[in-house]
Structure 1
């Protein structure tokens, strides 16, 4: 059959429309990129960033990509630009070190949102995300001061997130007993489990009957020391469930699902109502932060103290108690 030129051109036009509509829809798909300062194959901070990315993919249907970087600010800026130029709507720089690069690139890509972990910034389309760990640690401090004689805090490195957590613990304890003794030590890294264990044992030998280690990968060493010291030394499981390491010592569990927090922030961006200030996750965000008690150990938190802690938790969530100041 012979086609006229007009019929041919109309057919081409129709085909163009049929092809361009899906292409336009594809261009509008939510795309999210992730920059991490290391490998996502290792448990810890970088894996949390990757879990956030996967959560956005699974819950919001986003197309995702990530890049593992060394501590090189020039590579940070290049990675941000690469993603933004490819139409990525959201890019998460997983660490405070990405903030300056994001601020530089964001000026050229006003329609892209740059989320920065462990940052308190909000400048245009650059939004900081933080988890206020002082809040659950405040509750731990209250319990320690009501049930114990002395507390010990073992940190990895003296950096703001750990200092913030420990400040919360100390403020919580002091709210019960201003003279409650608390010792504090840092091992100088996040990998030396032996050093964390020795620091905890030293505190226990000096009378600490509540010990909380907070040293990332080295944390398990602290729980080993607690377990070996018998059930009279108590603790709280933080970030992950360390009950198998110290089954007779852990009274409660603090979990921060930062990854889900990121998902919720990206959801607001997708829905057209992005955050108007830097984001701070806390006890007001039950999808992100939880503090629960154990009932299956040899020692548990008495019901009257649990009721007091619940009331305090509600006040913290409502902003009536400042935990990290």
Structure 2
């Protein structure tokens, strides 16, 4: 009885907190709050809390996952905040076989990517760990590798640069990737790119450029863009060059980042997600160089391409906040800050 009363009280408290932060039922949360709504939904789904699992059949789950991936690559956070937690609940309810393990692993890979973007490292570790475990159970070498890439990113964010490098390069050397053709080569390239960025964050410019060149050679050999289910940006010479913008900035050479950006035609990038990343990476480099007006223009371009991403992502909000406090403000900057929930 005491346990039931405690759970009931906790449910009432949770509902009160939710109602104080989200709009009334039937209203869409503001774009600045979509990230919080998505994190809360994923947290509860991963902890087994909340509503009953959706009635998805084993045949329906992969199609629903494809829709969630489309939401991610088009930055439809509002839709994803509903669809992705529902997929996690349904995936756990469908039972255990190889195909369902693979779908659930791919769902958790997507969840981990979103949680990394939203700087929710604790939940990110949980999602990435589950992704790898279910991918291994399903024998899906590509998803095992993509889960490892997410773990490497999380290790880097935790300050464990050597561990992040080891995770990424060990996964890239998995012989299984060489047995699955172009997709395996593309995944190897992404893992090596991740290692390059880890080198950049450690201030190793030479190592970063060597690893980026290695990833670029893989992309050039593949030719065109090789798309991957779990990473819709895939890999191409343009995406490797995109990665170099942020890597140069992180390695301590922001002046090299705009030069890297000029080598890319943004329209050549394979998704809205990648094109928005281009704009925000350029904005971050311009901000580091003190080019405020150009930085704001790049952020406004990112907002035009992907408003929900620009308004919800913590890294972008931090950049906007820094602009507000470091110099003169304009109506454009104040408007962007208001839409992002930075200025109320």
What TM-score, normalized to structure 2?
0.25
What TM-score, normalized to structure 1?
0.26
Instruction: With a CA cutoff of 8 Å and minimum separation of 6, indicate the structure with the bigger relative contact order.
Output: 1
Structure whose residues are more often helix by fraction: 2
